[in-house]
Amino acid sequence: EVQLVESGGGLVQPGGSLRLSCAASGFTFSNYWMSWVRQAPGKGLEWVANIKEDGSEQYYLDSVKGRFTISRDNAKKSLYLQMNSLRAEDTAVYYCARDSSGHYNAWGQGTLVTVSS
């Protein structure tokens, strides 16, 4: 069974940092691009970043460029999102998603990040 389990969310002050993790199981992690998608409270879905199978390419939403870094460890079957200089507008549930040629055919349950003083 394909599983993606996120962790690392929580309450952080504006300007603070947080590192999200996503543990994958049930499939060959190193064969897939992976993405982070977020959803602000009561809002729609927004793609945040993605990373190539071997980690050699990463792409970001314009509003998080320079602040967020996506990375992966294929040996540990894990995906990460380092989030720095957090803003109130980054408050959202962050989902880890498996990218299959552009669409997302597996999702984690999400982890809530709240940026507030």
Q: Does 63 bind another protein (CB under 8 A)?
A: no
Query: In the chain, what are the helix, strand and coil shares in percent, each to the nearest 5?
Result: 10, 55, 40
24 touches 4 (CB < 8 A): yes
Distance CA 25, CA 14 (A): 33
Of 105, 112, 113, 115, the one binding another protein by CB under 8 A: 105
Of 7 and 17, the one with the shorter C-beta distance to another protein is: 7
**Does residue 47 bind another protein (CB under 8 A)?**
yes
Q: Cα torsion at 106, 112, 113, 115 (round to 10°)? A: 140
Query: Within a 10 A sphere around the Cβ of 26, how many other Cβ atoms?
Result: 11
48 or 115: CB nearest another protein: 48
Residue 42 engages another protein in binding (rule: CB under 8 A):
no
Report the residue from 101, 113, 114, 115 that binds another protein according to the rule CB under 8 A.
Answer: 101
CB 20 within 8 A of CB 111: yes
One residue of 1, 41, 103, 117 binding another protein per CB under 8 A: 103
User: What is the contact surface with another protein in residues (CB under 8 A)?
Assistant: 35, 37, 44-47, 50, 95, 100-105, 107-110
